Amino acid sequence: MAYYFLVQTVVETPMYLRAAKAFYGAGFLCRNQGNAMSKLFEEVAQGTAEARAYMEGKRKGYKVTLPETVDVRGIRKRLRLSQERFADRFGLSVDAVRHWESGRRQPEAAARALLTLIAADPQFVMRTLAKSA
């Protein structure tokens, strides 16, 4: 019962609503409020239960959830890099980038993890890779 109250309180805060709006798009709250909010509630409740299990020692570590697809072209265009420079800068093969962008292949899990990091903070990834070179 306390977890429900916590989750309900978090979901109804203005800060959370702004974050959800930013993450899911401007029309999120108007278009999908009922369905998406219940799905969101389920996700938050599951995360809270997992955190509780971890804190009580019933669960070790954490589970990483990667997106099924990554918009490689969108990430590259946002960084204003050619396919060649994008591949060179992040240690990828030019052919792989071309195949991903054309839809002939999908990035494997490790590549999706790297692309997710690049999308979130490209400068951090570039600094980190430059240090290891």
Whether 21 has a pLDDT exceeding 70, the answer reads: no
List of domains in the chain:
2-55 (no CATH), 72-132 (1.10.260.40)
CB-side neighbour CA atoms (13 Å) of 66: 15
pLDDT per residue as tens digits for the range 40-95: 788 888 888 887 887 788 877 767 788 899 999 999 999 999 999 999 999 999 99
- What's the Rg (C-alpha) of the chain? 19
Q: What is the pLDDT of residue 79?
A: 96
Token digits for 74?
């969108």
In this predicted structure, the answer to whether residue 39 has a pLDDT above a threshold of 50 is yes
| This prediction's pTM | 0.56
Residue listed under structure tokens 């060649």: 84
Report the helix count and the strand count for the chain, using DSSP H and E. Answer: 8, 0
pLDDT in the model for residue 123:
94
